[in-house]
């Protein structure tokens, strides 16, 4: 479903932008993949070409989906691509004073309409359930690079303050869940990557590299849907980034190259030795309070979700801008017979979620001031939910 604003709204992602959008180069979409096993267990994964999933939107849409479609909130995963070429969202009703600011009313009205569209796309997906086979595999894509400086270098090293850092941690895996009809016809693919959608920084709506990857995967397949599930890319950027470093190519063309690179990796993951996925479908969801380092600030209720697709695939979805350390650690610690897929930017949008390493190093991604128990609280809860769904205790 197209969710491109009809008006030129103020955009999200870069504080330096001081004027509304000036048009679009690509539509923005919300898509839903609905899965149901033979026992009636269900899961719905909603992907959006937007900056994030504000908690108020997640809660409102989950409540409507439960009321209208009897979908348990734990079975609904909402994920945003974190494109910086989409509209600013305003889920909370503005005050009279806020309404005096340019664009506030339009952003609020857009967000209210967006919630209705998200409920509708969930209903459409559940209403279109058909027999299908699921397979999973992964490939690799290499344009993401850690955008933080190399804190391992001595402070007086001439490269100590340079970023990006080619030696920094990355997660180049491209997981792909393929959906096909009983006759082998491809219907959909859910795929992911851990990297900011920040190839672009202009005043036009666009899904960035993830939007183009979805477009390329769909362009020669009528009736086929490609959905992008954002990974733990909080400290990752696409490189090369911006046309000034690549003479003779525009920002959009560079973004399209990244999208083509990712689409090629998805094609590989869909076709090379796919692994069958079976039921049953089980899901668990819990919000846990996260504390700040300084006293006096209220804890934040942080969502953590785990979905089991039988004994074959574990999907763990973490809220907000999670750095790559979480993906690398959880895939290592949850490793077993089932494949492991870690998503960030899911069900919440409240800023950066640094690992303990990033907190100790400091810098942009550590500026929120979380308590140093953050990583262990999040990782511990993932393990707890994973075990609750039937995984063996470690």
pLDDT one-digit tens code per residue, 355-377: 999 999 999 999 999 999 999 99
Q: Look over the chain and give the mean of its residue pLDDT values, rounded to a whole number.
A: 95
Query: Considering its fold, how many domains does the chain have in total?
Result: 1
Range of the domain at 370: 1-394
Chain segment 113-156, per-residue pLDDT in tens = 999 999 999 999 999 999 999 999 999 999 999 999 998 888 88
Give the percent of the chain with pLDDT over 90.
Answer: 85
Average confidence (pLDDT) over 325-337: 96
pTM given for the model = 0.96
Is 90 exceeded by the pLDDT of residue 317? yes
Answer whether 281's CB lies under 8 Å from 315's CB: no
Distance CA 189, CA 71 (A): 22
Is 70 exceeded by the pLDDT of residue 393? no
């Amino acid at each position: 479903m197209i969710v491109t604003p009809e008006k030129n709204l103020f955009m999200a992602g870069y504080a330096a932008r001081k004027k509304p959008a000036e048009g679009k180069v690509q539509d923005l979409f919300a898509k839903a993949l609905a899965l149901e096993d033979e026992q009636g267990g269900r899961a719905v994964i909603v992907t959006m070409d937007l900056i994030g999933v504000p908690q108020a939107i997640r809660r409102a849409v989950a409540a409507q989906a439960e009321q209208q479609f009897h979908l348990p909130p734990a079975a609904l995963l909402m994920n945003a691509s974190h494109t910086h070429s989409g509209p600013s969202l305003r889920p909370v009703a503005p005050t009279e004073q806020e309404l005096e600011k340019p664009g506030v009313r339009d952003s609020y009205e857009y967000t209210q309409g967006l919630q209705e569209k998200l409920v509708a796309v969930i209903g459409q997906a559940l209403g279109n359930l058909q027999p299908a086979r699921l397979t999973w595999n992964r490939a690799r894509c290499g344009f993401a690079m850690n955008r933080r400086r190399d804190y391992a270098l001595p402070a007086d090293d001439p490269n100590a303050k340079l970023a990006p850092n080619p030696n920094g941690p990355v997660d180049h895996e491209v997981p792909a869940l393929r959906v096909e009809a009983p006759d082998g016809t491809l219907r959909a693919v859910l795929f992911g990557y851990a990297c900011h959608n920040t190839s672009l920084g202009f005043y036009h709506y666009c899904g960035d590299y993830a939007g183009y990857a979805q477009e390329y995967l769909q362009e020669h397949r009528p009736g086929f849907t490609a959905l992008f599930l954002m990974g733990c890319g909080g400290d990752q950027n696409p490189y090369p980034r911006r046309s000034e470093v690549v003479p003779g190519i525009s920002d959009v063309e560079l973004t399209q190259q990244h999208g083509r690179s990712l689409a090629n990796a998805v094609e590989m993951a869909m076709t090379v030795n796919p692994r069958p996925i079976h039921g049953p479908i089980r899901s668990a969801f819990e919000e846990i309070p996260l504390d700040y380092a300084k006293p006096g600030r209220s804890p934040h209720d942080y969502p953590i979700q785990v979905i089991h697709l039988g004994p074959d695939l574990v999907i763990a979805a973490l809220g907000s801008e999670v750095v790559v350390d979480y993906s690398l650690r959880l895939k290592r610690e949850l490793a077993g017979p089932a494949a492991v897929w870690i998503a960030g930017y899911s069900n919440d949008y409240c800023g950066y979620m640094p690992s303990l390493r990033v907190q100790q190093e400091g810098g942009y991604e550590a500026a929120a001031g979380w308590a140093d128990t953050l990583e262990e609280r999040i990782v511990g809860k993932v393990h707890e939910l994973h075990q609750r769904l039937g995984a063996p205790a470690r």
